[in-house]
Homo-oligomer: A and B are copies of this chain.
């Protein structure tokens, strides 16, 4: 088994308290002795037993990352994974580890990693988590950061994408192409992101007085399938649009399928802009004009916020909004 502080202490004929002080950069150890301790520790390949340390410090140096396993990110649209990677990369710098939870529990007190005191804080990802669950966590006092989610009546630390701004850019770009019948397809309005993207769409349309031409469909998920269905409904409806702003790239891909099924072609018969900038956006035909989300940066910010929060639990909740970027390709009609 691995070496303990006692092994080091015995070897140097000192107390393990001194070993602990030396190794943790605490005052009250002569430089000479401290160096000796460090040397022996290295020799023995010493690393503190986390269980023992946690037991006394009540700190685990672990952050829980919670996401619903049935969220699309885990399949066709790996949305939260670059974030997760970025989070881990940042947390490692601060000596923290990440523990995963995809169980989709509806209650904090059912979150095993919390009950068992396994984590110092939580990052909750995605809008698809049970509202009461999120609220109860945020009120529990455990340092918590939300990604892509927001509570109505509870202040929380949250990292958001500038969904409204991105949607505004996307829609305005379509308008600049001369389109008037610009429709929107998106996710459930219970999600902050869906609401904001819809708001951006509305603002753009109303900005040029197209209140009458507004037309949008909100489906229960934002997948290829729902995008296809929604687009089909629009194309076969009474006022088929000439352009569509899709709330994410998966739906945009679905829209492409619908267009193709209808015997139409992109971008001539229909212009299309997505949201996300998934890696494949550049590799489908026609390549997809979309709004880039800075996933890695969002992950990094979430990690930093949770660390700050652990250091100072009393700090006021902060809402961080990360901007977006319009990535112009072919599906919008640009050449």
Contacts and interface: CB of A to CB of B under 8 A. Distances in A.
A89 B102 contact: yes
B102 A85 contact: yes
A100 interface: yes
Interface string A97-135: 111111100000100110111100000000000000000
B81 A69 contact: no
A204 to B, nearest CB: 28
Contacts of A253: 280, 283
A51 B65 CA distance: 19
A55 B47 contact: no
Contacts of A50: 51, 116-118
A224 interface: yes
A257 interface: yes
Contact of A45 (B55, B103, B115): B115
A285 interface: yes
Contacts of A69: 85, 88-89
A57 B92 CA distance: 27
A149 to B, nearest CB: 20
B113 A97 contact: yes
Contacts of A268: none
A51 to B, nearest CB: 4
A100 B98 contact: yes
B88 A102 contact: yes
A55 B51 contact: yes
Q: How many copies does the complex hold?
A: 2
A65, A95, A103, A118 — which one has the most chain B CB atoms within 10 A of its CB? A118
Contacts of A51: 50-52, 54-55, 60, 117
A44 to B, nearest CB: 11
Nearest to A284: B284
A60, A98, A279 — which one has the most chain B CB atoms within 10 A of its CB? A279
Contacts of A81: 74, 78, 81
A2 interface: yes
A39 interface: no
B285 A285 contact: yes
A84 interface: yes
Contacts of A335: none
Nearest to A280: B280
B85 A47 contact: no
A48 interface: yes
A199 to B, nearest CB: 29
Contacts of A113: 97
A176 interface: no
A47, A74, A260, A285 — which one has the most chain B CB atoms within 10 A of its CB? A47
Interface in A47-78: 47-52, 54-55, 60, 62, 65, 69, 74-76, 78
Given A49-B55, A78-B78, A284-B285, 17 more contacts: A2-B115, A50-B118, A51-B60, A51-B117, A52-B55, A55-B55, A65-B100, A74-B81, A74-B82, A75-B78, A76-B280, A88-B102, A92-B103, A97-B99, A98-B99, A224-B279, A260-B285
13 contacts: A2-B117, A50-B117, A50-B118, A51-B55, A51-B60, A74-B78, A75-B82, A76-B279, A81-B81, A92-B103, A97-B113, A256-B283, A284-B284
